[in-house]
A and B are shown apart, each in its own frame.
Chain A
């Protein structure tokens, strides 16, 4: 069984650009959650997808959007990047629905200049 993988590992963008981050869940996991972790802080919940439907959202603006695909892989899209979007973006997958244990990937480090 492979773990949760994320791509790319690192990314540098400039303010105003758009970015897409990708997450490949563990095999059979039907739920994916995305978190943003600023330097020195704990992760903050962005949103969760369960069987391709959004299942909850944190306090993030609409320019943060996501998708979950039929194979349960997922994307996080951020439009109109701001400097404060610089952070580690983590995805986590769960096997048996939204309340099951979450298994995290290593994250994508996004730097916005």
Chain B
């Protein structure tokens, strides 16, 4: 299973953009990049996913490097509710549906 590397923790100020990095140098051509987040005392929540092109949805944007060895989750305006552990996950669709979570990045947001 391909591995991802994320910083253990990051801090942000409320209403400022946040860029959460993820390295995945051993990514294969069939791996999708998924991001989930887990708020305190809750189950993980799907955020966004992509394969090669940058993706936007109502929660966030995903910027994928041209060589696909890294990606960045972008929260455009952090709110206190965005404080969570963010997981970057590689998902190989031809090998079943499991999600392999790493340690994630714990994001704290200061008012």
Q: A: which residues have CB within 8 A of B? A: 4, 31, 33, 35, 41-45, 48, 50, 55-56, 58, 90, 92, 94, 97-107
Contact = CB atoms under 8 A, between A and B. Distances in A.
Contacts of B43: 4, 90, 92, 104-107
Given A42-B101, A102-B97, A103-B46, 6 more contacts: A92-B43, A92-B99, A102-B46, A104-B44, A106-B41, A106-B43
A48 to B, nearest CB: 6
A33 B46 CA distance: 14
Given A92-B43, A102-B46, A42 B96 contact: no
A58 B98 contact: yes
Interface string B92-111: 01001111111110000000
Nearest to A100: B97
A63 to B, nearest CB: 20
A56 B103 contact: no
A43 B97 contact: no
The B interface, classified by DSSP as helix, strand, loop or mixed, is loop
B96 A43 contact: no
A35 to B, nearest CB: 8
A102 B35 CA distance: 11
B1 to A, nearest CB: 10
A98 B94 CA distance: 10
Nearest to A50: B97
A43 B98 contact: no
A-B residue pairs, 5 tightest by C-beta: A42-B101, A98-B97, A104-B43, A45-B98, A56-B96
B104 A42 contact: yes
A55 B97 contact: yes
Contacts of A31: 97
A92 B43 CA distance: 9
A31 B99 CA distance: 13
A44 B101 contact: yes
